[in-house]
Structure 1
Amino acid sequence: MKSAFDAAAIRARAEVAISVALEAGREAARFRRDSNPGTLAVENKGLQDFVTIADRKTEQAIRDGLLSHFPGDTFMGEESGGRSGEGGTWVVDPIDGTTNYIRGFRHWAVSIAFVAGGKVEIGVVYDATEDKIFHAVRGGGAFKDGIPVHAAATADPANALVILGHSRKTSFDDHLALSKRLHERGMDYRRTGAAAIDLVRVAEGAADLYYERHLNAWDMLAGALIAEEAGAIVAMPGVDRLLADGGPVIAHSPGLTGEFAFILDIEGL
């Protein structure tokens, strides 16, 4: 399916999304600091109330910021739901890495993707660790605060750093087996808890692989496009399937394709 949006329309949306993500991300960071959830009661309800407020406030600000400029677009958010439309759809995770956010571990993100014609056309990720914006427009490369970024040139698995996500919807035994296999190949690995950030780490060459067996579309679409435009090899199901059901994603530096081919076989990608 061909997108109904020309290059100028996509570029206009990208510029607004960058501005909205930066403002929303900084406001979420301020809310976290000012609320000081460390002083809240430790019961789950107190923390959950805090993060629900933060998520909803951030998502509403993103929705308002995007749709005030492009009222004909549709919106799908982690908090408010929604469906993809016939034209273009914004797919948003207002705070990706909510547990990190609650605890003050600054490995969290704002993730905004724009989907049209069955493809991700725009990806924008606010990186709270550095107060930076990553973005990509399909076919135009990937950028961090306007500076091009590129996937790593790593070819030796002994020099590789990989990031593995894990969803409770999938087998933890499989996750451990994969970790063991990569460890035996000499690779160092991490699990950090925010898919959007993990994908942009591959995009900027700080990591050589990100893989998770199940994510929702709003967790992965923006980061996956940024990684792909940075030269990483990215595989995931089709956008329509991801919007409906979620699924796996793998992004890795091109020099290690042979090392990670078995993951593609596992997922049938």
Structure 2
Amino acid sequence: MTSAIDHGISERLALARKLAAAVGGEIEAFHEEARSVVTRKGLQDFVTAADRHGEDLIRSALAEAFPEDGFVGEETGGQPAEQGFWVVDPIDGTTNYIRGLRHWGVSIAFVRAGRIEIGCIYDATTGRVYSAARGKGTFCEDRRIAVSPRQDPNEALAILGCSRRTSFEDYQAVTRKLHDLGVDYRRLGSAAIGLVRVANGVADLYFEAHLNCWDIMAGALIASEAGAIVVMPPLQTMLRQGGPLAAYAPSLSSTFSFVHELVALTK
């Protein structure tokens, strides 16, 4: 039986998990020709029919189950609602999806009273759903996961994002800093998947100098509930204009302490 103080979180989490898996599978099944029907939103910023279809499916299902909830989607917009709202990116990593690279995901988050309460991400590389509810830990399907306990920076792995809204020279400075620390790094092209990799201990740091709210709301909670230290501007700032985000394993706090300054500088 759901506790009265749960306030519908369990039901919302169950639906979000179900939707992430179902919509992820449906987007996977889109025919190659449909993937190639692309609209350019900006430089290296695309939207496909699959993005729109996925968001429509998620929005309709959530509205039917929880008509009082607000909705904010990457493709269709929307407004936060005081009583709670969903933040959705139907395909985080659209460029990867278009080109057949597996690093993309479906991101669904629920926000209430200024806190992220639920985060669910479908990981296209594995077909698994990662999920978290505030205070309840992070799960890959039914298995609880945690960040890496690694302590040696020479064994560490960072995942970076490179936003065209920020200076490329600043991105190069981050890679130089990691190089000097002995930390290897990768760029995947999806913040949602990068945060999942920190949550399940595959990577030790995710950093990007500018992200939109739908890119990271689910992933920020998933990483945090798995034990990561997550650094970003206040939630209202992220909702209004986006901003920087870092998530890292606390066992490497001294190595990655520099990211706090980076987040402060790029707010």
Q: TM-score range by the shorter chain?
A: over 0.9
Q: CA deviation at 1:53?
A: 1.2
Q: Does 1:175 align with 2:207?
A: no
* Aligned position for 2:24: 25
Aligned-partner SS, 1:169: coil
Q: Deviations over 1:150-173 (max 9, x none)?
A: 000011100000001010000100
Counterpart contact for 2:24–2:122, Cα < 8 Å: yes
Moved over 4 A (4+): none
- Give the Cα separation in 1 of the matches to 2:171 and 2:231: 18
Q: CA deviation at 1:61?
A: 0.2
Aligned-partner SS, 2:54: helix
Q: Deviations over 1:229-263 (max 9, x none)?
A: 00011111111111111011100011111111112
- Give the Cα separation in 1 of the matches to 2:130 and 2:218: 9
Number of residue pairs the alignment of both structures matches: 257
* Aligned position for 1:35: 32
Within a 5 Å distance, the mapping from 1:53-68 to structure 2 comes to 53-68=49-64
> Which of 247, 250, 253 is 1:251 aligned to?
247
**Counterpart residue identity of residue 134, structure 1:** Y
- Give the Cα separation in 2 of the matches to 1:248 and 1:6: 33
Counterpart contact for 1:100–1:106, Cα < 8 Å: yes
More helix by share: 1
Q: Does 1:222 align with 2:222?
A: no
- Give the Cα separation in 2 of the matches to 1:262 and 1:22: 36
Counterpart contact for 2:245–2:263, Cα < 8 Å: no
Q: CA deviation at 1:51?
A: 4.2
Q: Does 1:48 align with 2:39?
A: yes
> Which of 78, 81, 86 is 1:85 aligned to?
81
TM-score, normalised via structure 2 length = 0.93
> Which of 118, 131, 135 is 2:131 aligned to?
135
Aligned alpha-carbon RMSD (Å): 1.6
Aligned-partner SS, 1:205: coil
**Counterpart residue identity of residue 172, structure 2:** L
**Counterpart residue identity of residue 252, structure 1:** Y
TM-score, normalised via structure 1 length = 0.92
Within a 5 Å distance, the mapping from 1:147-186 to structure 2 comes to 147-186=143-182
Provide the identity percentage: 50
Structure 1: tracts of 5 or more residues without a match: 41-45
Q: CA deviation at 1:6?
A: 3.4
* Aligned position for 2:140: 144
Q: CA deviation at 1:113?
A: 0.4
**Counterpart residue identity of residue 125, structure 1:** I
Counterpart contact for 1:51–1:102, Cα < 8 Å: no
